[in-house]
């Protein structure tokens, strides 16, 4: 993990709370405990104006591979919030159709 990358809670404190609440509401308590320590390693970079997704681990060269699962959450906005989790670790946070992260 890159200790020089900003912590999610420092960069977007409001969003951090929303992510934690969405995980708890979905029964993903173990993932919720990771939220305070997540770092924003890189933004998605797709260029779509509706996307604010970001990596919390180095971007893989290909698919995430074995141990990968998606966690679809119910965000407090009308868009989408989907996590990529590998071996129990949040590695990518997909944030779509949301006002700017805060």
Output the pLDDT for position 29.
97
What digits encode the pLDDT tens for the residues 32-81? 999 999 999 999 989 999 999 999 999 998 899 899 999 999 988 888 99
* In-domain check, residue 3: no
Query: Would you say residue 55 lies in a domain?
Result: yes
Burial class (CB in 10 A: 0-12, 13-18, 19+), 5: middle
- Is residue 82 assigned to a domain? yes
Structural domain boundaries enclosing 45: 8-96
Number of domains in the chain: 1
Could you give the percent of the chain with pLDDT greater than 90? 79
- Please name the residue that has the structure tokens 């809670």: 9
Does 41 reside within a domain?
yes
* This prediction's pTM: 0.92
């Amino acid at each position: 993990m890159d200790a020089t990358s900003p912590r999610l809670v420092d960069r977007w404190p409001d969003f951090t709370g929303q992510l934690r609440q969405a995980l708890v509401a979905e029964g993903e308590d173990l993932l919720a405990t990771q939220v305070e320590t997540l770092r924003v390693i890189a933004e998605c970079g797709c260029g779509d104006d509706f996307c604010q997704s970001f990596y919390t681990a180095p971007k893989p060269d290909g698919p995430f591979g074995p141990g990968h699962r998606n966690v679809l959450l119910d965000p407090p906005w009308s868009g989408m919030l989907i996590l990529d989790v590998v071996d129990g670790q949040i590695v990518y946070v997909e944030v779509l159709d949301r006002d700017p992260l805060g």
